[in-house]
Structure formats: structure tokens, C-alpha cells
Amino acid sequence: MIGALHGRLHKDTDDSLCIRLAARYRDVFEETFGSACCCELKDIIERTGKPPSCDDLVEQAAQVLIDVLENDQNEG
């Protein structure tokens, strides 16, 4: 999604915004969920007593991405 919105169309185009947003998303993702590693995330989910399904995580991760993109738009 970040690349679709902010990625470059030509190899000579500056893509620093895309790189910055991707790094920010990863940071916020790890802060929110405790890891970016699938195996570790499944363990974290299991400790909550829920079955190790990624459905909720994917939904929450999408919301984190939306928040990152909206915050960037508000700051820019």
C-alpha cells in the first residue's frame, strides 16, 4: 500500500518518503504487537488464550498502517 501510494514511477525518482513510511510502519507494528516475526507473533497470540489465528492481527495491522499513513498526511 505504501509503495502504491508513495512509490516511485521511475528509477530516478526520490523514494525517501516511501522508505521512511515503511520504516515507520515497521516500528509502530513492532511497538504495537511486540514483534514483526510471524513465529513470535503466533506465540504472543497463544499467550492471550486465543487460537493461533492471524485474522485479528491482520485486521489490527491494517489499522496501524492506516494510522501511519493518516499521521503522515496530517504532518505533511
23-58 pLDDT tens trace:
999 999 999 999 999 889 888 888 888 776 778 889
Asked if residue 33 lies in contact with residue 44, where contact means CB atoms within 8 angstroms, the answer is yes
Res 74: pLDDT: 83
Q: Would you say residue 66 has pLDDT above 90?
A: yes
pLDDT-based confidence at residue 76 (cuts at 50, 70, 90)? low
Q: Domain ranges in the chain?
A: 24-76
